[in-house]
Structure 1
């Protein structure tokens, strides 16, 4: 019975989007966030590749990519400092 409610809500949202249209600002905000997260993952990948020689490895997960993506190089430096000084 619950699946019918979920399907009904999804269909209602689809019909509403078709009639009203998607807000452009919301799509732009989401796309900018996705691009920042991808850039964060790329920065973490390169840090792991080049930091392997000194034993620096930061796992690439949603939390670290969001931190690195939105804070940039300073977020990457913060995660590296946490790894070096706080984690054994």
Structure 2
């Protein structure tokens, strides 16, 4: 095979891989964000079930799920502190 054909085929494959791989990265970040929101909602659900005995209730909505999902347990404690002392 001639070198120009080999280089052309390799360049074509690189372009195809770039075009196919480019849209997948934003979808991966969106998917990770949705999973974190669901984990946050699940954490809030269990907090409300267990915290019901102590008078703790945090509403489950987009903002509270985002805080508890992206920040984890410290975010959950921050929501409880905000609910207890500020609101």
TM range, normalised to the smaller chain? 0.7 to 0.9
Structure-2 residue corresponding to 1:83: 83
Q: How many pairs align?
A: 68
TM-score in terms of structure 1 length: 0.73
Equivalent residue runs for 1:1-88 within 5 Å: 23-87=23-87
Report the aligned-residue RMSD: 1.2
Report deviation, 1:86. 1.2
* Runs of 4+, deviation exceeding 3 Å: none
Counterpart secondary structure, 1:67: helix
Q: CA deviation at 1:68?
A: 0.5
Instruction: Specify every segment of 5 or more residues in structure 2 that has no aligned partner in the other structure, as ranges.
Output: 1-18
* Residues 11-66 of structure 1 deviation map (CA, whole Å, 9 limit, x = unaligned): xxxxxxxxx66701011000000000000000000000000001000000000000
> What TM-score results when the alignment is normalised by the length of structure 2?
0.74
2:6 paired residue number: none
Q: Which has the larger radius of gyration?
A: 2
Residue 46 of structure 1 aligns to a residue whose secondary structure is helix
